[in-house]
Amino acid sequence: MLTQFEALQLTKDENGQRAAWTQLTDADLMDGDVTVRITHSTVNYKDGLAITGKAPVVRRWPMVPGIDFAGVVETSSHAEFKPGDKVVLNGWGTGETHLGAYAQYSRVKGDWLVPLPASISSWEAMAIGTAGYTAMLCVLALEGQGITPEKGTVLVTGAAGGVGSVAIALLSKLGYTVAGSTGRPEEEAYLRGLGAAGIVSRQELSGPVKPLSRERWAAAIDTVGSNTLANVLGQVKYGGSVAACGNAQGMDLPGSVAPFILRAITLAGVDSAMVPKPKRLQAWSRLASDLDRQKLASMSRTRPWREVLDIAPEIIAGKVRGRIVLEVS
């Protein structure tokens, strides 16, 4: 039986949403067959939405937010895990319908957990986090559509964010020529350091939609949605593909069918929260082999977990570069 432990709890009433650090016990944990002592977490765009209340991410109250954690198995009745095992969790409704990562302990279904690859530390696992894991899923989606380095340049939108940063590092190591789109020109040196060969201004893509434009990209990874995604679709070369995984600009897609029926391109949707376990294992195996650890370290920084309330509005405002690792005390 656990003694009291600390957690960030979101509550909601007629006066709105509030966030406060509180003490929980074993009785507060939800159903599951594995209890994990959390050592590290991170802050994703969805976490920022949940904490600030900018979007209805949370669907159970009260809620401990946080969709990612890395930690050590404390107790387990699941056949795959035993006490002392290092594990990582991404998604599965944690921080939304199941108490999440901003706590010292979490009880979850063992089927949600991935054994941490031996070559990846718990800190690195959260430097990767859902953002980096999603970037790997996007790369796998493009590979599945036959996009190889010799096909041409791959565009990454929202390039200075978490997904974009890891996507550039992955693609460049795999031999692709990468262009990064950002609204922060001061980040050019950072993006080139990750492997971007070219920089595209956000304004070139976020304005009024042109159903078809000059063919520029063999493929793209889009984290932005809305006008940006529609304009990117209109610039992809014949037979190309776009992996879409985000909605930073909006949920709408104000485009046309022209890129699909005149250039035979593919729009591949990429979800990270409910991906079946075999695909998760594949993604984490590829991250262990294909992600440059020095680049991962260069795009990441450590913050105390109590600063997450300050970080949440920063990530929503697009002020966070790369990845943030939270050390859970």
Whether pLDDT at 22 is above 80:
yes
Radius of gyration of the chain (CA): 20
Whether pLDDT at 161 is above 80:
yes
Q: How confident is the model at residue 233 (pLDDT cuts 50, 70, 90)?
A: very high
State the maximum Cα–Cα separation within the chain, in Å, rounded to a whole number: 63
Whether pLDDT at 3 is above 90:
no
Query: What share of the chain in percent tops pLDDT 70?
Result: 100
261-312 pLDDT, tens per residue?
Answer: 999 999 999 999 999 999 999 999 999 999 999 999 999 999 999 999 999 9
Whether pLDDT at 327 is above 70:
yes
Whether pLDDT at 2 is above 90:
no
Q: Strands, E, within the chain: which ranges? A: 5-13, 16-24, 34-42, 68-76, 86-90, 105-108, 114-115, 154-156, 178-182, 198-201, 217-222, 236-244, 266-269, 300-304, 323-327
What confidence score (pLDDT) does residue 23 get? 97
How far are the Cα atoms of 20, 172, 192, 259 from residue 47, in angstroms, in the given order? 15, 28, 27, 33
Query: What share of the chain in percent tops pLDDT 90?
Result: 98
Where do the domains of the chain lie, and which CATH numbers do they carry?
A: 5-116+299-327 (3.90.180.10), 130-269 (3.40.50.720)
Whether pLDDT at 204 is above 80:
yes
Q: How confident is the model at residue 315 (pLDDT cuts 50, 70, 90)?
A: very high
Q: For residues 223-251, give the mean pLDDT.
A: 97
pTM score: 0.95
Give strand pairing partners of 66: none
Q: How confident is the model at residue 174 (pLDDT cuts 50, 70, 90)?
A: very high
Q: For residues 55-59, give the mean pLDDT.
A: 93
Q: For residues 68-90, give the mean pLDDT.
A: 98
What confidence score (pLDDT) does residue 7 get? 98
**Residue 283: CB atoms within 10 Å:** 24
* DSSP letter assigned to residue 131: H
Q: How confident is the model at residue 329 (pLDDT cuts 50, 70, 90)?
A: confident
What confidence score (pLDDT) does residue 1 get? 58
Q: For residues 217-232, give the mean pLDDT.
A: 98
What confidence score (pLDDT) does residue 223 get? 97
Q: What is the mean pLDDT of the chain?
A: 96
